[in-house]
Amino acid sequence: MSDTDPVLKALQDDLDEGFAEMYAAHRATVFSVALRLGGSWADAEDHTAETFLRAYRALTGYDRERLAALQPRAWLLTILMNIWRNWVRSRVRNPPPDLRDEPVDGVCRRADVEAAAELRETGDELAGLLGRLPEEQRAAVVLRHVVDLPVAEIATVLKIPQGTVKSHVSRGLRRLRTLGGAR
């Protein structure tokens, strides 16, 4: 994550081309986190698109110095976490009619059907269990073990000490195991 990051180099050369490289380099990570934090496939698409759009709009105001100091992946995930937390909060305030908790069944929108199929292929059950973790444990487990971020970077993203990250991860894993065993 130093100035050798090719994404940073590209961003400094040309904001739009650089953006395309940043997207290519981090789209899977951002989308995986968006999807595994909870919500439908369509929600994850919305949050990912919103993350990259906000990132681009912020970048247009950055000077070279600020660009050079950027850690793109951690920064993108920080934006995503903000979007996700706001979304969770607004959902608590006015919950959608049907799909409150668990995986959606019987929703006929094509995207959701595809999404459901996708979820089933890639560990529907475990994804469901993740949704039952407290938010901070879920975030830590997803960042650490789904997208394989180092603890230090997770601490940056979640704005908590590294020790707290580690304890969230280990408590989250323990709880997942208990939940999985109970099923």
Partner 1 sequence: MTHDPRLPGQSEAACGTGLLAALAALAVDAPEGLIDRVAARWVTVQGPLGELRAAFTDHGVAYLRPEPPVPPDEAADPGVAAGAFEAGGGTVGGFAEEFRRLVGRPLLRGARPPAGLAPALRTGRTSGVPLDLRACGAFEREVLLAVRSVPRGEIRPYAWVAARTGRPAAAARAVAAVLARNPVPLLVPCHRVTGAGGVLGTHVLGPLAQERLLRAEGVDLERVRELAGRRVYYLASDTTGIVCLPTCHNARRITPSHRRGFRSVAQARAAGYRPCRSCHPTPA
Cβ atoms within 10 Å of 40's Cβ, excluding its own? 20
| Helices 151-158, 72-93: inter-axial angle, 10-degree rounding | 50
Using the contact rule CB under 8 A, the part of the chain among 70-78, 81-89, 101-109, 173-181 near partner 1 is 173-181
Judged by CB, which is closer to partner 1: 31, or 87? 31
DSSP string, 88-103: HHHHHHS--SS--SS-
CB of 47 to partner 1, least distance (A): 11
> Should residue 178 be labelled a site residue for partner 1 when binding is judged by CB under 8 A?
no
Instruction: Provide the minimum distance between the beta carbon of 70 and partner 1 in the complex, in angstroms, as a whole number.
Output: 16
**CA–CA separation, 163 vs 55, rounded Å?**
28
Among 66-74, 81-89, 98-106, 175-183, the segment contacting partner 1 (CB under 8 A): 175-183
- The SS3 call for residue 62 is coil
Q: Could you say whether residue 60 binds partner 1 (CB under 8 A)?
A: yes
Please list every residue from 74 through 113 that binds partner 1, using CB under 8 A.
none
Helix/strand/coil percent split, the chain, to 5: 75, 0, 25
The CB density around residue 53, as the number of other CB atoms within 10 Å, is: 11
Decide: is 20 part of the binding site for partner 1 (CB under 8 A).
yes
Among 154, 123, 169, 127, which Cα is nearest to 39's?
Answer: 127
Binding site for partner 1 (CB under 8 A): 15-17, 19-20, 23, 27-32, 35-36, 45, 48-49, 52-53, 56-57, 60, 118, 122-123, 126-127, 130, 141-142, 144-148, 151, 162-163, 166-167, 169-170, 173-174, 176-177, 180
